[in-house]
Chains A and B, each alone.
Chain A
Amino acid sequence: MTAQHSPLHPMTYSTRGADPATAPAFLAPLDQVGAGLPGSGLSWLTDLRAAGRERFVAVGLPTIKNESWRYTNLRDLAKIGFRPASPAAATIDLLPTVRAEGQDGPRLVFVDGRFRADLSSIEGLPPGVELLSIAAALTSHTDLLADHIGRLAVADDRPLVALNSAYLADGPVLHVPAGIQVERPIELVFVSVGSEAQATSCHPRSLLIAEAGSKAVVVEHHVGRGAGTTLSNHVTEVFVGEGATLHHYKSQREGGGAIHLSHIAATVATGGCYDNFILTTGAKLSRNEVVSRLDGTDARTHVSGGYLVRSTQHADTTTLIVHAKPNGTSREVYKGVIGDTARAVFQGKITVCPDAQKTDGYQLNRALLLSDGAEIDSKPELEIHADDVKCSHGCTAGELDDDALFYLRARGIDRDTAQGLLIGAFLSESLEEIAEESIRDAFQGIVAGWLEEQK
């Protein structure tokens, strides 16, 4: 383990777009809960929290002057006055799952950011695989946490990561030791309940570690069960070891009062593969950041997904793929459907470092606009510092094909069903990126449900 708790990839310090005035609204409640956070005897953790707090005090929420936040404005969040969600024992029924009826498997459930042992199960995991909450791991697995937490998700240039670190208390930990293959999907369920009387916030942290030669499939569900305004500011750190494979699928279908902010930071060692797919259908405001770094040679990453938004929803997808070493492969296929006056943002950047010769990078973002008021802001970016690479990107926005729509209607299919068929067909290109069939089917079911509501 590292004596000093240093990030793997230090970033440049920047205060561009800082708005420190927004910080107190988010940090004041911390003074009340701060002392009660678990693990207060661990110096690395108190340091990490203090550093996060200090950084957030200095910069506050990101503003649209920050290039990476140009299209997503968080200004109004500071006015809402969030309180940390109280760890209430809300009754939760009908937990989402990708499993067939009657099938069980490992699952951790977090309600408003806090672990709920009564709803969770670790049955069916191979021996040696560890799946537990951070709150528990702070007592039983301190070295594992100290070695990993805060090493990928760096607070310097990311105010929301700083805020998450300041509040760091709970979230899931998965540790798959070297050589172990976990066949059954591991489900991580995050439920926002909140309160109708008070806007609430939580800041869960996830830690996913797949050691050399191991394999695991993680499925995340983010759902809402309340009518109040909730803020989930989630940070995930992912370590994929040599020759390991981690499939990481996420469905965000929180309720209409939800604000969902997520930062996923992954590192992939030699010959490893990090496969990420995010399906966004929920929350009034969401931002999914995915940073995947190929830090070993011959590593692969897939960063794909779909976003389906309507009404006045705003969904931001901001990805960064860093090819740091030679012979890496990255593939990114995002498809979006935007209706009414909803707005989607796609910012996809691929960086190829000078060392990363023979890189093969592919990026595609296609958006389908269902109405005149719908908007997509798309910004693909390639930054290439090596000369022997193959990188391509494509980016389109369009409407439903009138010819196809008429053809279907001329065969007796009503307009809504015809549109549904065409939207489903449009999205299938990204859903096909999901390698696991059962999960692809489950996600297709979520899309079908969305289309049904569209009628």
Chain B
Amino acid sequence: MIEIKNLHATVDGKEILKGVDLTIRPGEVHAIMGPNGAGKSTLSYVLAGRDGYEVTDGSVTYYGKDLLAMEPEERAAEGVFLAFQYPVEIPGVGNTTFLKTAINAIRKYRGEKELDAMQFLKLIREKTKALGMSDEMLKRAVNVGFSGGEKKRNETLQMAVLEPKFAILDETDSGLDIDALKIVAEGVNALRSPERSMLVITHYQRLLDYIVPDHVHVLAAGRIVKSGDKELALELEKNGYRDFGVSEAA
């Protein structure tokens, strides 16, 4: 279980999160919606442990542990996975090398035996096939020259391979056309399980047609101002975020 309590965070001295409270139980999919600048991406970076995001108050308890005290790699090994809004291009580091290093780092942390080249290849073939990814994408450098859709598929592949307990999907729909969105959503849905929780961060309701959440929250001005079920997302689609004191031309 993930319990976020009264979470305050600043970026460059400016307070962005102003007391976020959220509890996510195993198997649940929560969506966080909100206007630009509400603090959606800040929340995802704070949970993943990025430098430059300073927590000034509150706590995040992750299966009984203090998540905020962990290094990013420890969080990942404990099962936290952030699917990036803008996956980073890393020239010179092969996608396969990257995936193998990551999976073995996490296995080592969990006290599992590292995969050898053959075992790894078998696993990766299986997962790429399910996501409709080509072998060629594995041979290239991490995200270099990937289209928007390929980058998001690569994120989904990493999620499938690393098998997190808690996946945060940050604006996974941005930059995707409808076909790519469907493929990525199918990949994500295949990973839904009673042990795995997800936090889906999105500006638009569109994504939630494909990844249907159990709970929907509205994040505005650094706080969760309303919670409900998937109907709330439809309501927001119709009325926008005006009801939450935000005027927006979107």
Binding site for B on A (CB under 8 A): 401-404, 406-415, 417-418, 421-422, 424-426, 428-429
Cross-chain pairs A/B with CB under 8 angstroms, 17 sampled: A402-B51, A406-B51, A408-B98, A408-B102, A409-B71, A410-B76, A410-B82, A411-B102, A413-B102, A414-B73, A414-B105, A415-B71, A421-B93, A422-B90, A422-B93, A425-B93, A428-B92
> Which residues of chain B are near A428, meaning CB under 8 Å?
92
Whole-angstrom distance between the Cβ of A230 and the nearest chain B Cβ: 35
Chain A residues whose C-beta falls within 8 Å of the C-beta of B93 in the assembled complex: 421-422, 424-425
Smallest CB-CB A-B distances: 4 pairs: A425-B92, A412-B76, A411-B102, A407-B88
A410 touches which one: B48, B141, B142 (CB < 8 A)?
B48
A425 to B105, CA, bound (A): 19
Task: Identify the interface centre among A407, A418, A421, A424: most chain B CB within 10 Å of its CB.
Answer: A407
Among A401, A413, A418, chain B packs the most CB atoms within 10 A around the CB of A413
Partner of A415, one of B73, B87, B97, B106: B73
Cβ-neighbour of A425 out of B90, B109, B162 (below 8 A)? B90
B37 on the A face (CB < 8 A): no
**Across the two chains, which residue of chain A brings its CB closest to B80?**
A410
Q: Assess the B88–A403 pair: CB atoms within 8 A.
A: yes
Interface hub of B72, B82, B87, B97 (most chain A Cβ within 10 A) = B72
A159 to B48, CA, bound (A): 58
| A residues in contact with B129, CB < 8 Å | none
Contacts of A422 in B (CB 8 A): 90, 92-93
Check B92 against A429 for contact (C-beta < 8 Å).
Answer: yes
Verify if B146 is at the interface (C-beta below 8 Å from A).
Answer: no
Report Cα–Cα, A414/B75, bound state, in Å: 11
**Given the contacts A403-B88, A411-B162, A412-B77, A421 and B72 also touching, CB distance less than 8 Å:** no
Separation of A408 and B141 alpha carbons in the complex (Å): 13
**In contact, A409 and B73 (Cβ under 8 angstroms):** yes
Chain A contacts for B103, CB-based, 8 A: 412
Report Cα–Cα, A409/B80, bound state, in Å: 11
CB-CB contacts below 8 Å: B77-132 with A? 77, 81-82, 84, 87-88, 90-93, 97-98, 101-103, 105-106, 109
A409: which B residues are within 8 A, CB to CB?
Answer: 49, 71-73, 76
In the complex, the answer to whether B88 meets A404 with C-beta atoms within 8 Å is yes
Residues of B within 8 A of A424 (CB): 92-93
**A421 nearest in chain B by CB position:** B93
- Asked if residues B102 and A407 are in contact (CB atoms below 8 Å), the reply is no
Q: Find the residue from A402, A414, A424, A428 having the highest chain B CB count within 10 A.
A: A414
Cβ–Cβ < 8 Å partners of A407 in chain B: 84, 87-88, 90, 142
Q: Which of B49, B51, B92 contacts A426 (CB 8 A)?
A: B92
CB <8 Å contact, A412 and B50: no
Q: Is B42 an interface residue (CB 8 A)?
A: no
User: What's the Cα separation between A41 and B80 when bound, in Å?
Assistant: 78
Contacts of A429 in B (CB 8 A): 92
Of all chain B residues, the one with the shortest Cβ separation from A425 is B92
Extra inter-chain contacts (19) besides given A406-B50, A407-B84, A412-B106, CB under 8 Å = A401-B90, A407-B90, A408-B102, A409-B73, A410-B49, A410-B73, A410-B75, A411-B98, A411-B102, A411-B158, A412-B73, A412-B102, A412-B109, A413-B101, A414-B71, A421-B90, A421-B93, A422-B92, A426-B92
> With a CB–CB cut-off of 8 A, which chain B residues contact A402?
51
Shortest beta-carbon distance, A440 to chain B, in Å?
14
Count chain B residues whose beta carbon lies closer than 8 angstroms to a beta carbon of A.
31
Q: Which chain A residues lie closer than 8 Å to B98 at the CB level?
A: 408, 411, 421
Of B75, B97, B106, which one neighbours A421 at CB under 8 angstroms? B97
Which A-chain residue is minimally distant from B102 (CB atoms)?
A: A411
By a CB distance below 8 angstroms, the chain A residues around B50 are 406, 410
- B21-57 interface (Cβ within 8 A of A): 48-51
Q: What residue of chain B has the Cβ atom nearest to residue A429's Cβ?
A: B92
Q: Which residues on the B side are within 8 Å of A408 (C-beta)? A: 90, 98, 102
**Chain B 134-171 interface 0/1 with A at a Cβ cutoff of 8 Å (1 = within):** 00000001100000000000000010001000000000
Quick check: A413 and B92 within 8 Å, CB to CB? no
CB distance from B82 to the nearest CB of A (A): 5
Q: How far is the CA of A258 from the CA of B176 in the complex (A)?
A: 57
Taking the nearest CB of chain B, how far is it from the CB of A366, in angstroms?
Answer: 12
The smallest beta-carbon distance between A430 and chain B, in angstroms, is 11
From residue B1, how far is it (CB to closest CB) to chain A in Å? 21
| CA of A417 to CA of B91, assembled, Å | 16
CA distance A409 to B51 in the complex (A): 11
B76: nearest chain-A partner, CB-CB: A412
CA distance A109 to B133 in the complex (A): 52
| Closest B residue, CB atoms, query A403 | B88
| CA of A410 to CA of B51, assembled, Å | 11
A230–B126 Cα gap in the complex (Å)?
57
* CA A428 to CA B144, docked complex, whole Å: 15
Q: What residues of chain B lie closer than 8 Å to A411, measured between beta carbons?
A: 76, 98, 102, 105, 158, 162
The residues of B that contact A421 with a CB separation of less than 8 Å are 90, 93, 97-98, 101
A19 CB to nearest B CB, Å: 44
Question: In whole Å, how far is A420's beta carbon from the nearest beta carbon of chain B?
Answer: 10
The reply to whether B101 and A406 contact each other, CB–CB distance below 8 Å, is: no
Determine whether the beta carbon of B91 is less than 8 Å from that of A413.
no
A415 and B73 CA atoms in complex are apart in Å by: 8
- Shortest distance from the beta carbon of B44 to any chain A beta carbon, whole Å: 10
User: Inside 8 A of B92's CB, which chain A residues have their CB?
Assistant: 422, 424-426, 428-429
Q: Which residues of A contact B81 (CB under 8 A)?
A: 410
> Chain A contacts of B109 at CB under 8 A?
412
State the CA gap A290–B103 with chains docked (Å): 44
Which B-chain residue is minimally distant from A426 (CB atoms)?
Answer: B92
In the complex the two chains form, what is the Cα distance from A403 to B82 in whole Å? 13
Chain A residues with CB below 8 A from B105, complex form: 411-414, 417
